[in-house]
Amino acid sequence: MAKGYWVSVYPATTDPERLTAYDKLAGAAVQAGGGRVLSRIPSVGGRVVAHEAGITQRVVLIEFDSFEQAVAAYESEAYQKALVALPDGFERDFRIIDGID
């Protein structure tokens, strides 16, 4: 079975400290939903080399055992509470994608 992934890109993260409440709630929801954070850059000391457009915005990649599990974790009550904690003015591009089997 192919894995499922959450991919989040934050084009406008001017104050990452304001994400603290969301990060705490989202982290617990992801873990409860069986997700594993594979990458979170550049906010955790990760490295990035940007090409083409040269954008080095925050990117988060989370892996689940299946696409269905990824969708269920997003729809969970715990993650919906985390979404409410996202600060006003934060722009994000969030996708749930299917992995390759």
pLDDT digits (tens, 9 = 90+) for 39-80: 888 766 677 888 888 777 888 999 999 999 999 999 999 999
Q: Pick the residue with more confidence: 87 or 13?
A: 87
In a domain? residue 51: no
Alpha helices (H) in 1-101, listed in sequence order: 20-32, 67-75, 77-84
For 19-37, write each residue's pLDDT tens digit.
888 889 999 999 999 999 9
Contact 21, 85 (CB under 8 A): yes
Look up the domain containing 16 and give its range. Answer: 4-46+57-98
Is residue 52 a part of any domain in this protein? no
Residue 31 lies in a domain: yes
* Structural domain count of the chain: 1
Tracing tokens 């490295």 back to the chain, one arrives at 47
pTM here is 0.87
Residue 74: helix, strand or coil by DSSP?
Answer: helix
Tell me the torsion sign for CA atoms 39, 41, 46, 49: positive
